[in-house]
Chains A and B, each alone.
Chain A
Amino acid sequence: MTNKLITPTRRTVLTGMAAGGALLATGLTPRFAQAQSSEPIKLGFQLHRTGIGAAYGRWYERTATAALKVVNDAGGINGRPVEILFEDDGTDPARGAEVFGKLATQSNCDLVFGALFSHVVIGTAPRAAELKVPYLVCSEGHHVASGMLNRWTLQPGITDVKSQVQGMAPFVTQNLGKKVAMIFPDFAFGHDHRDYFSAAVAAQGGEVIAQIAIPPTETTFTRYFPQIPAETEVIYHVMVGPAVLTFVKELGEFYGTGARPQLFGFMDSLEAVDIASPGLEFLDGSHFWEAHPRYKQADASEAETFYRTAVGVDDNGAAANDPADVATYSHMFSTWETLFIIKAAMEASGYQGAADRQKFVEALEAMTDFAEGAEHPQGAKTFNGKTHQAFGIQSISKVEGGKLVRVHQTTLEDGQYPDEVDYTTQSF
C-alpha cells in the first residue's frame, strides 16, 4: 500500500477524520494481480441465500456443489481444479450488482453464474458488461433473449419462459380446452405469462377469454373468482409466493364439489412446496408444467437417476435425508447444466485466465447443441448463440394421488421462436 492519501492533507485533520479512518479500515487494499494458470479456476456464484428466493437458493447451492464434485472428480477444467465461491445477494438487484463486483474484482473469479430471480439478473447484467466478466444466469426469464441485456450475459442452462409457454400451449388447447381464463400476479412475471401464453393459445386456435390480474399485495382471492367466465374450459394459474396455498384452497372452496374447469398451473407456484400439503387436495387431477419432473418417472434415464442421487433428492423430489425439505426441482438442474457448459466452453476456448474471458464467450456463442446425459440430465437442448438462450424440452404432469405424473413432453421444435436480438453483432 502506498501512502499517497496522507500527502495532500494535514496530519491534524486526518487524525480527527472518522470517515477517512473507516475508509482505511474497509478498503484501501492494492489491486489484485491476475490469477496464475496453475491456480484453481474460480467460479463466482450469485446465490439467493436470503430474501424471497431463499428456498431456491438453498437448492441451487446444493446442486452446484454436487456438480462441482463431479467436475473435480473427473479432473476439473483444463486440468485445473475448480472452486465455487458463493456470495449471498439477498435476492435483491442492488445487492446483486454489488456481489457480482465483489466476486469478479475482489475474489478474482473467472466468471459468475447462478442467479435465478429476474430482477436480480436485470439489475446485475449492466455490471457484468462494465467489468467484462461472463455472467451465466439460471433464470428462465425472457430478458436475455429479448435483447435487453448484453453480450456478457448468457442463459445456456435453462429455457426461457416465452419458449416454455409456447411449447405447452398446444397441449392445453388440444387436451384441456380452448377457452382459457388466466389468473396471474399483476407484475412483470405475470404479465410475461399473460402476453406469451395469450399469443401462443391464439396461434393454436384457442382463446384467452379472461385475464384476471391479482394485485401483488393481495392475500385473499375469493372476490376475483366470479370474474372467471362460466364458459371457461381451462383455468391457467401462475400465482407465486406464500399466497399460493390460500389461492388454491379458496379456488377449491369456490367450486366446491361441483363441476369445475380444467386447471393448468406453472410449477413455479409449488416449487419447494409439498404437493400433498393440506389444502392442496383440490389440485388432484389438474395439470402442471414442469421443466424437470419432481417425482422420479417410471422411464427415468440413467443420467436422471445419477443426477438425482448426486444432488441428494429422493424419488418424491424431497431431500434424501429430510422428506419435508422439498426441492426446487424444475429449476435447480440449470446450475448443474450451466457448470458443465462452463467446463465445455472453457475447454473449447483453451481458457487460461481472465484475459480469455472474451474467448470464452465466443466459444459459448459457437455452441449449438447439448446432448442429454449426465451433464444435461433435464434433457437435450439447443443453444442459440445469437440470442444467448438455450431451448429444451418441457414436461406436462398430472396430479394423481398426490404425485405428479408426466403425461406429455414437448419437442425442441415446439419452443422455438424467431430471434429478437443478435448479441454477436455487439462489441465486447
Chain B
Amino acid sequence: MIDRRALFLHLAVLAALLAALPMLAAYHVTNIAKIMVLAVYAMGYNIAFGYTGLLSLGHAMFFAAGLYAAGMGISLFGLSAAGALVLGPVAGGLAATLVGLLALRTAGVAFMIVTLMFAQAGYLTILYFVKYTRGDEGIVIARAARAIGSVDLSADTPRYLLAFGIFALALLLNLALVRSPFGRIMVAMRENEARSRMLGYNPYTVKLTALAVSGVYAGAAGAAYAVVFGYVGASLASVQYSILPLLYVLLGGAGTVLGPFLGALLMFYLIDYASSATSAYLFIVGAALILLVLFAPKGILGTLRERHARWLP
C-alpha cells in the first residue's frame, strides 16, 4: 500500500518537471533532460545499493550495455530509435544478471572489487573492438536515426518529453517496487541477511533479482542517452560512470525514491557552476561531499526522512 502523501509528492515532482518545460531556458531544457536520464541510471543504482545493500562499482558496464546496444544497434544494424530504447534495458538487465551470477558469490568489499573488475573488462572490450565501437572516440548517432515516427528527438522539446516519459515511468515503477513485498525483502536483505535467510528468503535470488532490475534501469538510461544525446563513447563506460550514480545516491539519499534525482540535479549544477568559477571544481565537489558525510550521512532526503518525514519512501 503506497502512502497517499508519498504518491502525491512523487506525482507533484513529475508535474513540476512537466510544467517547468516552457519556462526553462534552452540550456536548462537539455540539462534537465540529461539529469532525468542520469537519474534513471541512479535510481537503478539505488535499487541495488540503497535498498538491497549491494555496493557495486561496476554499474558503468550495465549503463554501457544499454548505451552500446542502442548505439551499435542503430549505427550497425539499422535499428530504429524505438527499438533501441527497448533493446537497451534488455541488454542492461542481461549484463547485470550475468555479472550477478558470478559476483554475488562474494559480498561486501569483495563484491565491490569483482564488479569493478567486470566493468573495467567491459570498458577495455569497448576499446579493443574499435572497428565496431570506434573505441575511445565513439560513435555519432545520425540525426535521422534519432526519431520516433516523425518526432525528431534531437530537438529540445521532444528530447525533454522523452526523457521525462522514461523518468516518470522509472520513478513510479521504483515507488511501486520499494513499497511492494519484494521491496520489503530487499530492505530486509540490506538490514539483516542472516535473519532474512532464517525467515525463508534466499539471499542469492533476491539479490540477483534486485541487481537485474538495477541493470534494466541502467540499460534503459544508457539507451536513452544514446538516442537522446546522439553520442556513444567509451568514456561513458569508464569507472567514473560507476562512481557517479553512487555519488548521486549518497547526495540525494540512499534508499529514497527521489534521492537519485535530487542528487543528480544538485551534483550536475554544482559541477556546472563550480567549473565556470574555478578549474579546481572537483575540490569543491569533494568538499561538498565531505560536508555531507559529516552533517547528513544519510543524504539530503535520508536525513529529511529521519528527522521530519518518516513516511518518505
Contact = CB atoms under 8 A, between A and B. Distances in A.
Q: Do A and B come from one complex?
A: yes
A5 B13 contact: no
B41 interface: no
Interface stretch (A98-106, A219-227, A353-361): A98-106
A8 B11 CA distance: 12
B261 interface: yes
A129 B28 CA distance: 18
Contact of B134 (A10, A88, A188): A188
A92 B266 CA distance: 20
Given A119-B138, A130-B154, A5 B276 contact: no
Given A2-B23, A187-B135, A23 B233 contact: no
Nearest to B300: A18
A92 B124 CA distance: 18
Nearest to A27: B28
Interface band, chain A: 35 or more
Contacts of B34: 98
Interface stretch (A75-83, A143-151, A273-281, A325-333): A143-151
Contact of A93 (B13, B16, B138, B276): B138
B226 to A, nearest CB: 11
Given A28-B20, A105-B26, A9 B233 contact: no
A9 B25 contact: no
B233 A148 contact: no
B9 A105 contact: no
A53 B28 CA distance: 27
B191 interface: no
A88 B231 contact: no
Given A8-B19, A17-B16, A130-B155, A119 B137 contact: yes
A19 B262 contact: yes
A211 to B, nearest CB: 13
Nearest to B24: A27
A10 B16 CA distance: 11
A150 to B, nearest CB: 7
Interface string A1-44: 11011011110011011111011001111111000000000000
A14 B236 CA distance: 35
Nearest to A89: B275
Contacts, number: 173
Contacts of A9: 12, 15-16, 19
A190 to B, nearest CB: 9
Interface stretch (A120-128, A202-210, A249-257): A120-128
Contact of B235 (A16, A18, A119): A119
A189 B155 CA distance: 31
Nearest to B155: A130
A269 interface: no
A7 B261 CA distance: 23
A20 B265 CA distance: 10
Given A105-B26, A217-B124, A126 B230 contact: yes
A87 interface: yes
Given A49-B279, A88-B275, A126 B265 contact: no
A188 B132 CA distance: 11
A106 B155 CA distance: 17
Interface in B177-198: none
B96 to A, nearest CB: 22
Nearest to B38: A94
B129 to A, nearest CB: 11
A90 B278 CA distance: 12
A17 B12 contact: yes
B269 interface: yes
Contacts of A188: 130, 134-137
A15 to B, nearest CB: 10
Contacts of B234: 119
A69 interface: no
A97 B12 contact: no
A191 B135 contact: yes
A101 B20 CA distance: 19
Contacts of B200: none
A28 B279 CA distance: 26
B140 interface: yes
Contacts of A13: 8-9, 12
A118 interface: yes
Contact of B127 (A28, A101, A122, A186): A186
B30 interface: yes
7 contacts: A26-B269, A122-B134, A123-B231, A129-B154, A149-B140, A150-B143, A217-B124
Interface of B: 8-9, 12-13, 15-17, 19-20, 22-28, 30-32, 34, 124, 127-128, 130, 134-138, 140-141, 143, 154-155, 229-231, 233-236, 258, 261-262, 265-266, 269, 272, 275-276, 279, 281-282, 300-301, 304
Task: Report the 6 A-B pairs with minimum CB-CB distance, sorted nearest first.
Answer: A27-B28, A126-B230, A13-B12, A106-B27, A105-B26, A20-B16
